[in-house]
Amino acid sequence: MTTNDTLQLATFAGGCFWCMVKPFDELPGIVSVVSGYTGGHTENPTYEEVGSETTGHREAVQIVYDPELFPYERLLEIYWQLIDPTDDGGQFMDRGHSYAPAIFVQNEEQRKQAELSKERLKASKRFKAPIMTPILPAAPFYPAEAEHQQYYLTHPLDYKLYQKGSGRDDFTALHWNSREDKKRLRGRLTELQYEVTQNKGAETAYQNAYWDHFEEGLYTDVISGDPLFSSAAKFDSGTGWPSFTVPVEEGMIRREADYSGGQVRTVLRSRLSGAYLGYLTFDGPEPAKQHYHIYSAALHFIPKAELEARGLGRYVRL
């Protein structure tokens, strides 16, 4: 099903829908993320009715997205990391069918991709218990009441307390950042790349790969390959490290406060891989003066001539 020639729908149930919006929201190609109810036998159910476990509906989110910018496979990768796929009786502290996880597919292509993604998760042996999350045909989706939309923005404190208290964060850290994950990552990266991206390490000014590199192309996350910066936004800051005025996609970079070392800084991380990139300062060029101070070890450069072959042709215009 498509909403027009390019946009598509994706529907995921993963327990409380409050916690299922933020991980997808504002990513490149994500047009909207709506909380709602689906899979049941009643029309236009309310929050209270669904919670009574009499409607057959599950809490879910419906995503409108552009597959050219953010393919369904990536949505599935995010989804698996948000849930406990071995639990079909609810999710974390929320119990009952209305909180049970499920992937609702809109067409045969989504079904094939979802099945393949599920098989890969099984084969990874990441979970000892069987993967129980069903893949179901899409059903009518009913948006939830206004108070449940974008809950992480409208009730930030309540959201953070619930997210942490539910056990989701601890579960994700245990199963998706394990010793085996770290071992595999160490095998892929150089010692410096690992130290910078995982331990907020630094690299020597004027002695790194990209500080004076001005070839046309795209700088990507060294771990995930996600596009981060264009050569068109790169400038010589005089610091001896790669410096950029703006990212390619604002939604691919996460900012967080850092109080270590006796100073306050805004640390930059790649949103999907969590890799440490550098920090934000305000000593760049006018008029914004905003300056993305990035470490070469966190980046991988793709020349302009290779972008099409890498499936990144849409960035050639930059």
Q: Which residues are catalytic?
A: 16
Both tokens of residue 212? Answer: 């004076």
Specify burial of residue 238 (Cβ count, 10 A radius: 0-12, 13-18, 19+). Answer: exposed
Q: How many residues does the chain have?
A: 318
What whole-number distance in Å separates Cα of residue 255 and Cα of residue 300? 20
Cβ count near 115 (within 10 Å): 13
* 8 Å CB contact between 115 and 187: no
Q: State CA 306 to chain mean position distance.
A: 25
Going by their DSSP bridges, the two strands 227-230 and 141-143 should be labelled as unpaired
State which amino acid sits at residue 116.
Answer: L
* 8 Å CB contact between 98 and 48: no
Cβ count near 186 (within 10 Å): 13
Residues 6+ apart with CB under 8 A from 297: 190, 192, 193, 195, 196, 197, 201, 203, 208, 209, 222
What whole-number distance in Å separates Cα of residue 74 and Cα of residue 87? 22
H-helix or E-strand containing 163? helix 156-165
Both tokens of residue 98? Answer: 């209305």
